[in-house]
Structure 1
């Protein structure tokens, strides 16, 4: 049943990544749309995620937050979709999924805030330096068609969404490896369906605001 899986999101958020992941697993789900100004901070939602952030899911009464965790969880919860490698083959899967959630996220957040660690601070921050992080990410997507090899996995949803977002907004140098990787995975029908849903929600909200 749809209400066995509830998806909390905003179409202009990292929830787009989870919408894509939900399309990949083919699960039925209920969507709860939240806005930044009010409902994300309502007590009802804070009971789900005290951080007041999206995305979040509730599956069979269990809460999962954080994009990478949700992707990994859904891959395991819906194994028939084949989005998680066998346990013996998950080294690259976990490595790059959490590299994107950790060093890549930190590096780009600091860059967008104009924060550049000094040489001494580089030992303290998880990503070291921005340039090294990007070079490492490039190597990960250039080596094989997907980050775990020849097969698309949940790690590609998360890594790919990060790369696509940063390319779209000029935050990432459009190196050939990044562009080729993004073009390859964004051609998936699952991505197109998810993006169409969120784009339609954005358009409807903008139209309602204009009329109001």
Structure 2
């Protein structure tokens, strides 16, 4: 019998973010671990995500891809977990969720690949330059305990996981504000559970 909620993932991927989000919801789910060189490019998975990447979820027959979208979808699908924004949190929630998925990730990716936009290219790039993006994120996480205000939301799962990854590999400076924010999120029981699950899978490889 097919599970109502299935996560397609790999422990060395953004699937870790989706796993953390699922653990935050408390929902029952099945996790299917895919390999990059085989099952992730097989026809069966391409029918779910033609981009041949993880994560993806299938919930009640509905497919959701793109990690930020998965976080937002699960917050709405499981309202009892209280991970979706309240009315006064919506502006910050959507602003920083999409900032993390857009300008932040683009700036970090370009930096990691050695791409530095010229002054003329910065408007086309959509994020200006690397230092500007880092400064904006640093100021944002210093303003409140959580990115949308005083309460943890799905936007913190996505942004927080990205910042954990970027600081771990030296892709973004470990400022006091960023590391304090990350530390607050790492203490969450759902994050610890998700990390243990994915680390266990990775150790088995």
TM-score for both structures, normalised by structure 2: 0.98
Counting matched residue pairs gives: 205
Equivalence for 2:142:
142
Offset at residue 88 of structure 1 (A): 4.9
User: In the TM superposition, what is the alpha-carbon distance from 1:89 to its structure 2 partner?
Assistant: 3.1
Distance of 2:10 and 2:4 partners within structure 1: 20
Match of 1:210 in 2: none
CA-to-partner distance for each residue in 1:20-63, whole Å, 9 max, x for gaps? Answer: 00000001001111011111100000000000000000001010
CA separation in 2, counterparts of 1:82 and 1:179? 25
Shift in alpha-carbon separation, 1:14–1:109, aligned structure 2, 3 A: same
Q: What pairs up with 1:28-177 in 2 under 5 angstroms? A: 28-177=28-177
Deviation at 1:171, TM superposition (A): 1.1
Give the CA deviation at 1:170.
1.2
What is the DSSP-based 3-state SS (H/G/I as helix, E as strand, rest coil) of the residue aligned with 1:36? coil
TM-score using structure 1 length: 0.95
Work out the CA distance in 2 between the residues paired with 1:77 and 1:147. Answer: 21
| Gapped regions of structure 2 (runs ≥ 5) | none
Residue by residue, what CA displacement relative to the aligned partner does 1:62-85 show, whole Å, maximum 9, x if unpaired? 100000000000000000000012
Q: Distance in 1 between matches of 2:87 and 2:63?
A: 24
